[in-house]
Amino acid sequence: MGIHEKVDTSGITLPSGFDSLDKYASELDSAYQQYGYLARMHIVDFFVSDHWSSLPQEWQEYFDADDFDIASLINMASAGTLKATCPDLLRTYVNQMFALQFPREKVNLDSKSSQTKEEKRQILKYFLEGMSPKKQAEVTDLSQLINDVAKASNCQRITDVGAGQGYLTRVLAYASGSSGAELLALDHDWKQASGAEKYQKRILKRLKGSRARADGYQWDDILTKRIVHDVQSIDMQSTSTLRAVAKSGITGSNHMVCGLHACGDLSSAVLKTFAESNFAAVVLVPCCYNHITESAGVHGVVSGKQLNQSKHCAQPGFPLSTKFPNVVFGTNALKAACQAALRWEHNFEGTMEAFKRNYFRAMLHYLMVSIGGLSTDDKFPVIGSITNTLTENARQRIVGRLDDNAADATDDSIEFAVYVEAALENINYTWRPTIAQCIDCCGQIRHGLKRMAAVWALRSMIGALIESILVVDRAAYLAENCGAGGSVRAFALFDPVTSPRNVVFVAQRKK
C-alpha cells in the first residue's frame, strides 16, 4: 500500500498534466539523468574545460548565429521563448524544462482571521520595522499560514528554527490573529538571539502604548512572556536536541516547528525532526540549496571531489525520501538550483551585467591556468566583491600604462584588463598578466560572452528542475512520515520574482 493512500497529498501542487506525485518524481528523475551534465558545469572554468564543446553541434550553431543575441537567451530562460530557427532538440529541452518546473505562481490563502486588510496593516506596522519590503511580504504571508495551522492543530508551542533577529517570531506571538501558542525562538548565534531580545523589549513597550490601542491593538499582560529565546546549533545529526528543546516544559504532542528560509541542511533537519517525532505540524520555507549535503554512497557521474558532503554524510540533507535513490547532484548542480531565471527579464540590465562579470571571471581563470601557473586541479580562487574604489584605482593604472602596443584594444578588452587588475589585487594575488595579454585573450575567444551566457541560460533552466526534485523529495519524505490520516501540502506562498525561494511545506498529523 502506497503512502498516498494513507496521507492526504492533494495540497501538493503539481505541474499541468500530472495527477500523481510518483509519476512527477519519475519524470524529474529521467530528465535529470539526461541533462544533468549541464548543471555540473562550472562557469569559472568555462573556457579552461571547454564546456561549449559539450553542447550538441546544432545547439552551438544556433547560438553562434549572427542573428542570435543575448536578449534572446534571457527570453529563453525566463519565459521559454524561442526563435523559429531553434533546433528541434533544443526546443524539446526548453519545453521539457518548463513543463517539469514545480508551479511557482503564488497561491493566495484564505485566512480564518476576521480582520480586514487595513486592520492587519495597522497592526503589522509595529512588527515590520527594520525589514526590507521583500521580508515584510514574506513574514506577513508566512505568519498567517503558521498561525492558521497552529490553531487547526491546537499547538501549545511553536518553535521557530533559525529565528535570527526574531522578525517572524514576534509577529507569530504578538500580532492580532495569533494562535495563542508559546513561541520558542532558536538560532545558532547568540548575537542574533541577543538582538532579537532587544527588539522584543522595544516592541512590547510600543504595543502597550496608547497609539497601539488607538490602532485597535488589544494588549493582554499574558502576552509578555510569550517568546523564549535560546541558542542551539542544529544539523542533521542533532535533531534529537531540537526535539528535546522544542518539547521542554510542554506535555503531549501539540508541538510545531517552523522556519523561514532555513539554510541548506537546516531545512532538512527541521523536516527530519518532524518525521522522527510526534509533533503535530511543521511549516517550512527552505533556502540555500548549495549548502545541502548529499549521500557519500551514491556518486554516479559526479566525483567525490564535486560532491557537497559534510563530515557525517551518513545523515545527508538529500535525498530524504525514497523517490530519488540514484540521483546525485554535486556542488555545481546545487548552485545551479539557486538560479532564478524568472527574474532576468524583470532586470535586463542587471542580468547583462552579471553575464559580463562572469564572462570576465571565466577569462581570468583561463589566463591564470594558461600563463599564470595555476593548475586545473587547484581550487578556484574566490575573487569576492570588487568595489568601485578597487575598479577606479585599477582603471587609472591600466589607462596610464596603455601605449602603442595596445593599439588594437577595444573598450571591452580594456574593461577586461581593468577587471583583471582589480580582481587580482582584491585577493592579493602576486601574478599579473600584461595589458597586451588581456587584450589578446579577448581577441582569441570568439563569441565568448554569448557562448558563456548560452550555457548559463541552459544551466538556469535545469537548475529549476533540480529545485523541483528537491521540493518533491521533501514533500514525499513528509508524506512517508506523516502517519495515517495526516496531510502534506507544498505550494508557492510568495511572489516568485520578489522571493525566488517561495515554496512552503506544510505537514499536519491527524489530531
Answer whether 262's CB lies under 8 Å from 273's CB.
no
pLDDT, greater one: 257 or 173: 257
Q: Which residues, in sequence order, are CB contacts of 178 under 8 Å at separation 6+? A: 147, 172
How far is residue 99's CA from residue 85's CA, in Å, rounded to a whole number?
21
What was the pLDDT predicted at 300?
45
pLDDT bracket for residue 401 (50, 70, 90): confident
**Three-class SS state of 294:** strand
pLDDT, greater one: 478 or 217: 478
How far is residue 217's CA from residue 377's CA, in Å, rounded to a whole number?
62
Strands 503-508, 281-287: pairing is: antiparallel
| Mean pLDDT taken over the chain | 89
What was the pLDDT predicted at 174?
87
Which residue do the cell numbers 573556457 mark?
Answer: 47
Q: Structural domain boundaries of the chain?
A: 117-333+469-508
HSE (CB half, 13 Å, CA atoms) of 43?
Answer: 24
295-305 pLDDT tens trace? 765 444 454 44
For the stretch 338-377, what's the b/e string if a residue is b when 16 or more beta carbons lie within 10 angstroms of its beta carbon?
Answer: bbbbbebbeeeeebbeebbebbbbbbbbbbbbeebebeee
How far is residue 450's CA from residue 244's CA, in Å, rounded to a whole number?
54
Answer whether 180's CB lies under 8 Å from 157's CB.
no
How far is residue 412's CA from residue 416's CA, in Å, rounded to a whole number?
6
Residue 311: pLDDT above 50? no
What was the pLDDT predicted at 454?
96
Contacts of residues 312-317 at CB distance under 8 Å and 24 or more positions apart, as own/partner, are 312/236, 312/237, 315/236, 315/237, 316/236, 316/268, 316/292, 317/236, 317/264, 317/265, 317/267, 317/268, 317/269, 317/292, 317/293
Strands 503-508, 157-161: pairing is: unpaired
Percent of the chain with pLDDT over 70: 91
327-366 pLDDT tens trace? 999 999 999 999 999 999 999 999 999 999 999 999 999 9
Lowest mean pLDDT among 176-180, 380-384, 476-480: 176-180
How far is residue 29's CA from residue 300's CA, in Å, rounded to a whole number?
13
> Beta-carbon neighbour count of residue 111 at 10 Å?
15
Residue 456: pLDDT above 70? yes
Output the CA torsion sign for 292, 295, 300, 301: positive
Cβ burial of 143 (10 Å; 0-12, 13-18, 19+) is buried
Alpha carbon separation from 66 to 86, 205, 329, 351, 443 (Å, rounded):
14, 65, 35, 21, 17
For the stretch 218-231, what's the b/e string if a residue is b when 16 or more beta carbons lie within 10 angstroms of its beta carbon?
Answer: eeeeebeebbbbee
What was the pLDDT predicted at 304?
46
Output the CA torsion sign for 47, 53, 57, 59: negative
pLDDT bracket for residue 403 (50, 70, 90): low
CA-only gyration radius of the chain, Å: 26
Q: What spatial distance separates the first Cα and last Cα of the chain, rounded to whole Å?
A: 22
Residue 511: pLDDT above 90? no
pLDDT bracket for residue 152 (50, 70, 90): very high
Average pLDDT over residues 383-402: 88
For the stretch 55-90, what's the b/e string if a residue is b when 16 or more beta carbons lie within 10 angstroms of its beta carbon?
Answer: beeebbebbeeeebebebbbbbbbebebeeebbeeb
What was the pLDDT predicted at 129?
79
Pull the grid cell for residue 482.
506523516
227-267 pLDDT tens trace? 988 999 999 999 999 999 988 877 766 899 999 999 999 99
> Beta-carbon neighbour count of residue 438 at 10 Å?
26
What was the pLDDT predicted at 407?
60
Highest averaged pLDDT of the listed ranges 85-94, 188-197, 236-245, 431-440: 85-94
Cβ burial of 151 (10 Å; 0-12, 13-18, 19+) is middle
27-73 pLDDT tens trace? 999 999 999 999 999 999 999 999 999 999 999 999 999 989 999 99
Cβ burial of 298 (10 Å; 0-12, 13-18, 19+) is middle
Task: Please name every residue paired with 503 in a beta bridge, in sequence order, or none if there are none.
Answer: 492
pLDDT bracket for residue 443 (50, 70, 90): confident
Lowest mean pLDDT among 109-123, 308-322, 375-389, 449-463: 109-123
Answer whether 35's CB lies under 8 Å from 462's CB.
yes
For the whole model, what pTM was predicted?
A: 0.92
Answer whether 291's CB lies under 8 Å from 263's CB.
yes
Cβ burial of 202 (10 Å; 0-12, 13-18, 19+) is exposed
How far is residue 42's CA from residue 50's CA, in Å, rounded to a whole number?
11
What was the pLDDT predicted at 308?
59
Residue 284: pLDDT above 90? yes
Highest averaged pLDDT of the listed ranges 206-220, 411-425, 488-502: 488-502
Phi, psi of 231 (to 5 degrees): -115, 115
Residue 242's nearest CA partner among 194, 276, 197 is 276
What was the pLDDT predicted at 157?
93
Answer whether 271's CB lies under 8 Å from 320's CB.
yes
Pull the grid cell for residue 394.
585599477
How far is residue 303's CA from residue 437's CA, in Å, rounded to a whole number?
34
Average pLDDT over residues 284-289: 96
What was the pLDDT predicted at 130?
81
User: What is the CATH code of the structural domain delimited by 117-333+469-508?
Assistant: 3.40.50.150
